[in-house]
Structure 1
Amino acid sequence: MKKFNKVVLAYSGGLDTSIIISWLKENYGCEVIAVVGNVGQKDELIGLEEKAIKTGASKCYIEDLTSEFVNDYIFPTIQANAIYEGKYLLGTSFARPIIGKRLVEIALAEGADAICHGCTGKGNDQVRFELAVKAFAPDMDIIAPWRIWDIKSREEEIEYALDRKIPISISYETNYSKDKNLWHLSHEGLDLEDPNNEPKYDKILELSNTLENAPDKATYITLKFEKGIPVALNGEEVDGVTLIEKLNKIGGENAIGIIDMVENRLVGMKSRGVYETPGGTILYRAHKDLEEICLDKETSHYKELVALKFAELVYNGQWFTPLREALSAFVSKTQETVTGEVKLKLYKGNIINAGMTSPYSLYSEEYATFGEDAVYDQKDSAGFINLFGLPITVKAKMNEALKKAGK
């Protein structure tokens, strides 16, 4: 193995990174600096610094990235309406670039000669972390233990931890792979690996109620947007982090945003997971609804194409790329008039539009009314249809001529 003196580890305190500190010291004899990116995982941060030091790290940084995460990553993705494969709201995906960026900043400041992560060789996160490192420190060495060590499963990881008395908070029976941040909570592994198994929602859900336990009475909320950014909830202006926290609580109570999907990973395989994204699901729906009255038809339809590509770039870890930046510039332009209020009705997993207004609304009741109006001449539609249908008319006449000619 190549010799490293100081390694910065992307540390979460989970099973993988808990044993990696010990593994790095055993195999490289190097100093290990743990870096925790606080993107809103809250209770998971408790005791992390003490745990990292006790298990061999020389120091542990816990970096508060929540505001930057919301304003520079989450909100631009909402503005784009970017959803991967029609379901996944990219909760893990856009959290990795910001953490990777901070890893590099600390590694350079500490004079480290390598960055280490605990991602498996089967997953997407290895790509997301490493592309972020390449964007800011292209010559930095990267250590990925899952690609080189002898451990083959999470069960063997648990054995490794127990043998070395490394404290872990899971057992063989509760060994779901989870990722939690301000935006979402994901669940993978165990019985979920068989797509034919119904998720044990009553056991795995942490942010959300089950549908059965959600209130029997609907909850109404109002969201205010300015240029595509949510700025107020029920008339109260709040910062982005607080807004998402409040919506997570409201949405979770009403069983909003529980997604069970089989997604196509970047590395080629399909993967089944359950995602809880209560607040995010509400924000996506409200934003999309508001765009219905604020964007013209051509921009709206083209933006749907952009959303698909934007989601792929985020999912694939390509946040720090010229194309993502260019698409964000397009999206920002489209959001100049996406200002207004949206009222939503939440009930047992459902989100129902209950009204919306905007000073930039392109909806005109005067034109759209079924009643009498003084602005629209219905006779004009005949000429429009003749021109719009001209290619069909010409094709039909050609077919008639060929038929008469016996062809």
Structure 2
Amino acid sequence: MLHTVVIAPDSFKGTIAAASAAAALGRGWQQVRPHDAVRLLPMADGGEGTVDAFATAVPGAQRMPVTVTGPEDTPVEASWVLLPPTGDAPNGTAVVELANTSGIELLGSPARLRPLDAHTRGFGEAIAAALARGVSRLVLGIGSSSSTDGGTGMLTALGARFTDAAGRPIAAGGRGLADLAAADLSGLPPLPAGGVTVLSDVTNPLLGPRGAAAVFGPQKGATPDDIAALDAGLAGLAVVMTADPDAPGAGAAGGTGFGLLAWGAILVPGSAAVAELVGLDEAVAEASVVVTGEGSYDGQSAAGKVPAHVGAVAAAGGVPVALVAGRITDDADVSGFAGTASLTDLAGSGAAAMAEPERWLVAAGAALAGALL
């Protein structure tokens, strides 16, 4: 009997993107069951790989190259994705991600982190390119940020002005926020007719101990003194802009969530929104089995992560779902999955799995194909 298999993993962060992970799982599955219909539906939550996931999952999606100013002030070759027209977006939807334009992965190594000087200008330049195309709707992924500039770089690229007490433009990055005296958003373009939807798996506010600087600053290289300065700068930004700094997600991407709220965007949980946009429900309804996964499945993974969402959709449709993860920790609840595969177990160690993720994802796909059907 032939089956339809939907493969819908998140990225295995730090090792392999969702689209590549889905492709590897699919190859492994078809080594064992070559006649099954395999549909690749890589997922994302707004971080690294969001553009790739849409490009793979949505028929007719077009990748649009763009050169932007990266977080080190050097040119970066990036891309956004144009989704085909729909009834509510007759001129198409643009998917733009912060990760491939202003993300921390672009800095390459800890020695190149710029906690005070990295910025979101490139992200804004890519958004401007999408708007110039005349799209009806923007979908923006804001994970994997390299900076804590409150989105000021992005907004400046779109036409806003942030000035000091003498009326001069402030420096780029979080450093410039210390001199901020005024914000003029009158030069921003109007939102496209279908609005701006922001994908984020972060609910942190802009300021304070759960804010952008305190929680995410250290991973961007910020020292305790830097964190205090950045939080103070973001507090000054909150004074001159009208968005709510306590709104869930305002602290996402170094405060870029706050900057987007000030423009009029809507912040939504990333995995659920991506699932809707790529047609996960419809794909699962036609499937015999679903395979999902992520890099580390632990006791926190049931809270809004991609495997939990995919699992819930499959369960609602009565379709068995399997889990693949780089590692599955002892505190993880896997009772809802029809089968599991750990790359660490298959490879013999976490280091071996991370060194060759594609190889072990192929092995995982083959193992599940043999076990589940």
Higher helix share: 1
TM-score (norm 1): 0.24
TM-score (norm 2): 0.26
User: Which has more radius of gyration?
Assistant: 1
